[in-house]
Chain A
């Protein structure tokens, strides 16, 4: 059976955190331990999103936690990051759901929305009464969203939307979709629209057969002559940089989330290695090759913590650049995936079963490596930042 998570802190990292930051983390840690850990393996097996956790998560303030007002908690970015870490320690799927609701739905309404849109949607999204999704990616445009085909045409005081979106987290759960489309009358400028999912012409269907993020809903969206009032346009959006600003929020959260998944894998492998005996009745932790793996993991987790914290501090002081967030997302997801693979190795045969969380994390992290900008796209973003030369 899986081990009780003991937390991971090699260099006294907690001393860098304020008491509010520790409290926010501990609340999330306890919540996940009590409510997600007991059911997550079943959810993953069944491919079931744990809907029953939506209301309790809303009540504790986990949606839009770093926004001010509208019933949101007004957490700092570091506090928000630590909460994200604890969610992904549980499961990347549940963390994805929270990231989408917070960073990709509430954040754009908060940042680009009219007062009417904010007043109507944000309080309900904060409690989880209403759910949202974010439609940027299309079947033919992933890493290059600028090529999107979805179109919005102004017709009187309405917009008519047409297009296909793919790989949309929470698509079939959502009450509202933030849809990114090129506006024909505005030279193809990319803008965001709030599309209620019960509008005629809007359909959503689930992607089946996923071997990753099985506890999260992933959908395709189809918009065929969907008419929405012109006031559903997010007025302050303008160009691709608007959705990219949203992605920056989410990527930042992921850079912490990945640490959580890595901690879960490392902690499991460490505890297992001390119990499992092979050769001369010795625990496998006594072998140098096993120690090397544990050392690698704890070193990388520690470096990742410091990177995420510094990026969070930059974000809180308004000094963060998107390239900083790219580095944290790229590095931390990569190291988490490597940790999952090493941890799986340390558990031997037991590592492949869902008696332990490792294989689930490993499969989840494959998605996390791809979405919100693939590992390689972040390589190119950092590369452009240091050389000044775009290489996409």
Chain B
């Protein structure tokens, strides 16, 4: 199985975020890490390769710093990497990111493409789905189980409220992976050393620019949630206060 894993580098989960002057994005002076569900997507790809043979290729779109997520993936066992390297990739919306990835892998043919369910920063959950659409291949989202069959894949999806769905698909296919589908491995120290020898193909902005259109989606304003803590004291005898509380919960808070 030839598998592509799309990985995004996102700000670290507990990084203190500061907004930029325009209030449209954050200051980029934070620490970064692999987007969590993407790490699970990589792990799943490595496991499928271990079971069925083949190749695992990892891809990211982002500035030079994003190469770290590729190095980590190579250290964990991916065979080679593709880096769409430019600052400008950070600001692309999901549709344009999918187009850029599509252009970058035009010469390749993968049996399976896996991405994380969504990115921890933008949270749109669209890039994978749109990439499948452009490629004209089936996709399935929120995957928590993958089994190869003679005809394709048997998949388990996570639905709401503890429900699951079992579906089948032919290959090639694109899956977006849910965190927790497997147990992540560590990069071994030998793996870290070997990663240096593995090929990383660079794709420039100019290489894919012709496929990119103006963003359809824009961040208009980004803000820290404003505190709205109000305390109302209700006084009087208990039965009266209880009545007031019930009344409040019904009419003002509308929770009962």
Contacts and interface: CB of A to CB of B under 8 A. Distances in A.
Whether A and B are associated in the same complex: the answer reads yes
Contact of B192 (A23, A59, A62): A23
B75 A23 contact: yes
A62 B14 CA distance: 28
A24 interface: yes
Contact of A73 (B72, B186, B189): B189
Interface in B51-74: 67-68, 71-72
Contacts of B71: 19-20, 23
B201 interface: no
Contacts of A75: 189, 192-193
B188 interface: yes
B196 interface: yes
Contacts of B191: 61
Of listed B187, B189, B190, B193, residue having the most chain A CB within 10 A: B189
Nearest to A83: B189
Contacts of B187: 23, 27
A225 B73 CA distance: 54
Interface in B155-194: 186-193
Contacts, number: 49
A60 B192 CA distance: 10
Contacts of A74: 190, 193
B196 A20 contact: yes
Contacts of A24: 189, 192
Contacts of B189: 24, 27, 60-62, 65, 73, 75, 79, 83
Chain A residues touching B, range: 20 to 34
A61 to B, nearest CB: 3
A86 to B, nearest CB: 12
B193 A23 contact: no
B186 A60 contact: yes
A31 B186 contact: yes
Interface in B26-52: none
Contacts of B75: 23
A31 B193 CA distance: 18
B68 A61 contact: no
A30 B189 CA distance: 13
A35 B232 CA distance: 47
Given A6-B14, A19-B71, A27 B193 contact: no
Contacts of A62: 189
Nearest to A64: B189
A30 B14 contact: no
B167 to A, nearest CB: 33
Given A19-B71, A20-B196, A73 B14 contact: no
Contact of B188 (A6, A19, A60, A79): A60
A23 B73 CA distance: 11
Interface in B189-211: 189-193, 195-196
B253 to A, nearest CB: 29
Interface string A55-88: 0000111100100000101110001000100000
Of listed A20, A59, A71, residue having the most chain B CB within 10 A: A20
Contact of B72 (A6, A23, A59): A23
B5 to A, nearest CB: 18
Interface of A: 6, 19-20, 22-24, 27, 30-31, 59-62, 65, 71, 73-75, 79, 83
4 A-B pairs closest in CB distance: A61-B189, A73-B189, A73-B190, A61-B190
Given A6-B14, A30-B186, A59-B188, 14 more contacts: A20-B192, A23-B72, A23-B187, A27-B188, A27-B192, A31-B186, A60-B188, A60-B189, A61-B189, A61-B190, A73-B188, A73-B190, A74-B190, A83-B189
25 contacts: A19-B67, A20-B195, A20-B196, A23-B71, A23-B72, A24-B189, A24-B192, A27-B188, A27-B189, A27-B192, A30-B186, A60-B186, A60-B188, A60-B189, A61-B189, A61-B190, A61-B191, A65-B189, A73-B192, A74-B190, A74-B193, A75-B192, A75-B193, A79-B189, A79-B192
